[in-house]
Amino acid sequence: MQTDKRTSSKSPTRVLTVVQALREAVREEMRRDERVFVLGEDIRIGGSFLFTLGLLDEYGPERVLNTPISEAGFVGLAIGAAIQGLRPIIDFQYGDFIFTAFDQIIQQCTKLRYMSGGQVSIPLVFQLPTGASGRGAQHANSVETVFFGLPGLKIVTPATPYDAKGLFKSAVRDDNPVLFCVHKHLYGSKGRQLAASSISRGHVPDDEYLVPLGKGDIKKRGSDITVVANGLMLHRSLNVAEALESEGLSAEVIDPRCLVPFDADLVIDSVIKTSRLVIVEEGNERGGWGAQLAAEIAGAAIGYLDAPILRVASPNVPIPFSPVLENAVIPDESRIRNAILEVMDH
Amino acid sequence: MQVLNMRLPEIPDVAPLADYDAGLLTETYRRMVLIRQFEMKVNELFLQGIMPGTIHLSLGQEASVVGACLALEADDVITLTHRGHGQALAKGLSADALMAELFGKETGCCQGKGGSLHIGDMSVGALPAIAIVGASSPIAAGMAFAFKRQETGQVALNFFGEGTANKGDWHEALNLAAIWNLPVIFLCENNLYGVSTHITEVMAIEYVAERASAYGMPGRTIYGNDPIIVYEAVRTAANRARAGAGPALIECLTYRRGGHKRDDPGAYRPQEEVEAWFKTDPIPAFRDRLLQDPRFSTSVIEDLEASVKTAIDASVDLAQASDTPAVASALEHVYAD
């Protein structure tokens, strides 16, 4: 198996960033399956987060299509191509731009299979940089939240290099449309800020592996409280949990990895053990996936809870530009810590 | 508003039918009659309150859809509009499966999940219909992209109405098809009205086909109430696409015989315009042409018309006798396994 030229191969601990892991994943899947191709804006130079860096050289313009700025057009085109047997991957410069293709996703991509009585399937991966990164409101959407309630899509929010690679390969092999949402501070692309945590870089095996869609992962085991967080918020929650460990509080940190399907059983089992739950997400609080999870836990395990479920999320405002304001809106480590302590004090 | 002087039909001279295979001519007329009778029956069932949902009848537009579909190969693929019954029947979708779908029955072409607005059958190359104006155009381009990549020799044909030519998705699709040289035909059924809005109110140029040049593809406006004129135009475009020369836009001038949908009498249309267009009704016109050909007799035509009527009556009986879908099936087909 060929590896990314920018990383050392066959090393016992091959430490990669998320974007390096994703570049390996897409190469391996294109090599494995002739039907897989990638399209998007400026992908010949790597796209915005360098996900496709070097891909054109390896696979040529027939399978690495540089598109016009025409999101509704090329999303629709990818849907049609998928219906007729290809397996497209659409690379979005910013996930925020997907909204100009809203009808194609909400009305076409997710419904054509259902409306036709199962006559068609649409294997299609959307590579979507998500979340706030100092660019003002129109480049700061938590894209995954907007689509969370929509039947017919799968939604993946990987947070580590290992998970990103394994989940991406599973997404490409899935016969459904998959939104693959990676936080802009987690790629680790050159020139981009990378979240500071113990897992934002990490070991990725040489040998091929898959991470199944719909299975969560316990990133830190603990016994006093359960913290569920994804994307950038997972890293912040883990930092808080590691700090609290030295203060004698044992928090279990769960990464759902996929929002749809959601591994609620993993959270239920953890809550039965800890009796306390905090849910952390970056998107606006109203209508977030955390609300759905809180309702599910209340329905399935309320008798095990010793304290109210607390959610940490952005208030219901667009994301402001000024770094002071953006930091005030997006959940930071002190807000997460305070929520955990509040639940513990209950 | 100068509505009356816009697009009054100019019936062009037509080629003699002697040059065409009798089987093709028979099938052309049979499918046109099938659509006409199917739509009349559906309208009747609606007025009787027997059929659920809503309908957008394609009465009057039979020549465009039949001429277009018969110019394609069986494995070529079409996309349908909200006014799709005629398009589906023209491509070969079974009247039984279509009627059952309109009744929401398990035996429907989409197992009752689609209804009138989402009919289709992939086995005859009819992608289940997309009822959102403009949205099907990029998807048709995408299917053509797959045909080209896989070198299957297939062509995609995108049916749309003239109102679609103001939608962004449509423009994006034409551009993508042109820059990537895709084997797709954009076929406009220009019936002059988007619901109640006349094309002259919403477009500052005369013909939709003029827009083709902006994307670097050929565009033609043709009389759409003669199936042979449409057949020839689509065959030319399909041959061209199969030869690798890329997309084309064909605009068929035609007319709805009814309103936009069942509760719309179409009263916004000037009486003189309606009368002038109704005189061009494609079915009697083509029937007359056939009868001028020595290969066709009145009795042959009447037998064909009677057999279509029998088939449609049978499709209604079959649909009404069919089971409704199992309630649990509402939860199926959301995801592929």
Instruction: Extract the tokens encoding A306.
Output: 């010793």
pLDDT, residue A302, reads 96
pLDDT tens-digit map of A32-53: 999 999 999 999 999 999 999 9
The structural domains of chain A, ordered by start, are 15-203 (3.40.50.970), 217-345 (3.40.50.920)
pLDDT tens-digit map of A242-255: 999 999 999 999 99
Query: What part of A 17-46 touches B (C-beta under 8 Å)?
Result: 37
Query: What part of A 76-105 touches B (C-beta under 8 Å)?
Result: 76-86, 103-104
Instruction: Extract the tokens encoding A165.
Output: 């690679």
Integer angstrom CA distances of residue B199 from A40, A274, B163, B166, B256: 35, 66, 7, 10, 14
Apex A259 CA angle, A82 and A337, nearest 5: 150
Question: B145, A81: Cβ pair inside 8 Å?
Answer: yes
Which among A63, A56, A125, A116 is positioned nearest to A91, based on CA atoms?
A125
Average pLDDT score over residue span B9-24: 88
pLDDT, residue B259, reads 83
Average pLDDT score over residue span A113-139: 97
Q: How confident is the model at residue B4 (pLDDT cuts 50, 70, 90)?
A: very low
Return the bridge partners of B251, or none: B188, B221
Which among A241, A248, A318 is positioned nearest to A283, based on CA atoms?
A318
Average pLDDT score over residue span A303-329: 97
Q: Is A175 exposed, middle or buried (0-12, 13-18, 19+ CB in 10 A)?
A: middle
- The number of residues in chain A equals 346
d(CA A49, CA A10): 26
- B112 CB within 8 Å of a chain A CB: yes
- A149 CB within 8 Å of a chain B CB: no
B110 to chain A: which residues are within 8 Å by CB?
Answer: 115-117, 119
A263: three-class secondary structure by DSSP: coil
Average pLDDT score over residue span A254-282: 98
List, by residue number, the catalytic residues of A: 139
- A178 CB within 8 Å of a chain B CB: no
Across chain A, what does the average pLDDT equal?
Answer: 95
Choose from B172, B180, B181, B329 for mutation: most chain A CBs within 10 A.
B172
Closest partner CB to A85 (pick from B150, B156, B337):
B150
Instruction: Extract the tokens encoding A211.
Output: 């991470």
d(CA B14, CA A128): 54
User: Does the structure show a pLDDT above 60 at A119?
Assistant: yes
Helices (H), chain A: 18-32, 55-59, 71-83, 102-103, 112-115, 143-147, 161-173, 231-245, 264-274, 289-301, 323-329, 333-345
Pairing of strands B248-253, B193-194: unpaired
Q: How confident is the model at residue A13 (pLDDT cuts 50, 70, 90)?
A: confident
Residue B192 φ/ψ, nearest 5 degrees: 75, -20
Q: Looking at the complex, report in whole angstroms how far the Cα of residue A120 sits from the nearest Cα belonging to chain B.
A: 8
User: Does the structure show a pLDDT above 90 at A263?
Assistant: yes
Q: Looking at the complex, report in whole angstroms how far the Cα of residue A147 sits from the nearest Cα belonging to chain B.
A: 15
DSSP state for residue B121 in the 8-state scheme: B
Closest partner CB to A152 (pick from B142, B179, B335):
B335
Instruction: Extract the tokens encoding B159.
Output: 């049916």
- B120 CB within 8 Å of a chain A CB: yes
Amino acid A219 reads: K
Q: Looking at the complex, report in whole angstroms how far the Cα of residue B305 sits from the nearest Cα belonging to chain A.
A: 31
Residue A124 φ/ψ, nearest 5 degrees: -155, 125
Choose from A33, A84, A99 for mutation: most chain B CBs within 10 A.
A84
- A70 CB within 8 Å of a chain B CB: yes
Sequence-separated (6 or more) residues with CB below 8 Å from residue B8: B273, B276, B277
Closest partner CB to A103 (pick from B132, B173, B179):
B132
- Is A156 within 8 Å of A165 (Cβ atoms)? no
Q: Is the dihedral of CA B60, B64, B67, B69 positive or negative?
A: negative
- Is B252 within 8 Å of B190 (Cβ atoms)? yes
Query: What part of B 139-168 touches A (C-beta under 8 Å)?
Result: 139-147, 149-150, 156, 168
B111 to chain A: which residues are within 8 Å by CB?
Answer: 117-118
- Is B274 within 8 Å of B59 (Cβ atoms)? no
pLDDT, residue B1, reads 30
pLDDT, residue A4, reads 47
The structural domains of chain B, ordered by start, are 62-69+130-206+214-227+244-307 (3.40.50.970)
Residue B280 φ/ψ, nearest 5 degrees: -95, 10
A85 to chain B: which residues are within 8 Å by CB?
Answer: 146, 150
pLDDT tens-digit map of B129-177: 999 999 999 999 999 999 999 999 999 999 999 999 999 999 999 999 9
Closest partner CB to A85 (pick from B140, B146, B173):
B146
Closest partner CB to A81 (pick from B77, B142, B179):
B142
Choose from B123, B145, B186 for mutation: most chain A CBs within 10 A.
B145
Please report the DSSP string for B156-174 in residue order.
Answer: EEEEEEGGGGG-HHHHHHH
pLDDT, residue A10, reads 57
Q: Looking at the complex, report in whole angstroms how far the Cα of residue A159 sits from the nearest Cα belonging to chain B.
A: 25
| Entry pTM | 0.95
Q: Is the dihedral of CA B22, B24, B27, B31 positive or negative?
A: negative
d(CA B104, CA B59): 22
Within 10 angstroms of residue B10's Cβ, the number of other Cβ atoms is 8
B262: three-class secondary structure by DSSP: coil
Which residue bears the tokens 């679609």?
Answer: B164
- A73 CB within 8 Å of a chain B CB: yes
- Is A256 within 8 Å of A231 (Cβ atoms)? no
Q: Looking at the complex, report in whole angstroms how far the Cα of residue A153 sits from the nearest Cα belonging to chain B.
A: 8
d(CA B254, CA B192): 8
Question: A115, B173: Cβ pair inside 8 Å?
Answer: no
Q: How confident is the model at residue B16 (pLDDT cuts 50, 70, 90)?
A: confident
Average pLDDT score over residue span A302-323: 98
A40 to chain B: which residues are within 8 Å by CB?
Answer: none
Question: A114, B142: Cβ pair inside 8 Å?
Answer: no
d(CA A179, CA A171): 9
Average pLDDT score over residue span B280-289: 96
pLDDT, residue A310, reads 98
Pairing of strands A310-314, B219-223: unpaired
pLDDT, residue A5, reads 46
User: Does the structure show a pLDDT above 60 at B14?
Assistant: yes
Question: A118, B127: Cβ pair inside 8 Å?
Answer: no
What b/e string do you get for B241-277 counting C-beta neighbours within 10 Å, with b at 16 or more?
beeeebbbbbbbbbbbbbbbebeeeeeebeeebeeeb
d(CA B148, CA A197): 47
Q: Looking at the complex, report in whole angstroms how far the Cα of residue A64 sits from the nearest Cα belonging to chain B.
A: 13
pLDDT, residue A11, reads 60
Apex B71 CA angle, B65 and B76, nearest 5: 90
B120 to chain A: which residues are within 8 Å by CB?
Answer: 116, 119
Closest partner CB to B113 (pick from A86, A114, A120):
A114
d(CA A56, CA B138): 24
Instruction: Extract the tokens encoding A85.
Output: 């047997």
Across chain B, what does the average pLDDT equal?
Answer: 94
pLDDT tens-digit map of B172-216: 999 999 999 999 999 999 999 999 999 999 999 999 999 999 999
Amino acid B61 reads: Q
d(CA B57, CA B36): 9
- A60 CB within 8 Å of a chain B CB: no
Average pLDDT score over residue span A111-136: 97
pLDDT tens-digit map of B64-84: 999 999 999 999 999 999 999
The CA radius of gyration of chain A, in Å to the nearest whole number, is 20
pLDDT tens-digit map of A58-98: 999 999 999 999 999 999 999 999 999 999 999 999 999 99
User: Does the structure show a pLDDT above 60 at A2?
Assistant: no
- Is A167 within 8 Å of A158 (Cβ atoms)? yes
pLDDT tens-digit map of A155-208: 999 999 999 999 999 999 999 999 999 999 999 998 889 999 999 999 999 999
d(CA B64, CA B92): 15
Apex B113 CA angle, B102 and B332, nearest 5: 160
Question: B114, A176: Cβ pair inside 8 Å?
Answer: no
Integer angstrom CA distances of residue A75 from A127, A144, A283: 12, 17, 24
Helices (H), B49-192: 62-70, 85-91, 95-102, 136-150, 168-179
Note if the bond before A261 is cis, omega within 30 degrees.
Answer: yes
Question: B169, A72: Cβ pair inside 8 Å?
Answer: yes
Q: Looking at the complex, report in whole angstroms how far the Cα of residue A125 sits from the nearest Cα belonging to chain B.
A: 14
- B173 CB within 8 Å of a chain A CB: yes
- Could you tell me which chain A residue has the CA closest to the CA of B146? A81
Q: How confident is the model at residue B9 (pLDDT cuts 50, 70, 90)?
A: confident
pLDDT, residue B258, reads 84
Assign 3-class secondary structure to A135-196: CCHHHCCCHHHHHCCCCCCEEECCCCHHHHHHHHHHHHHCCCEEEEEEECCCCCCCCCCCCC
Q: Looking at the complex, report in whole angstroms how far the Cα of residue A150 sits from the nearest Cα belonging to chain B.
A: 11
Closest partner CB to A73 (pick from B77, B112, B173):
B173
Average pLDDT score over residue span B48-61: 92
- Could you tell me which chain A residue has the CA closest to the CA of B148? A81
Q: How confident is the model at residue B7 (pLDDT cuts 50, 70, 90)?
A: low
- Is B77 within 8 Å of B184 (Cβ atoms)? no
pLDDT tens-digit map of B95-122: 999 999 999 999 999 999 999 999 999 9
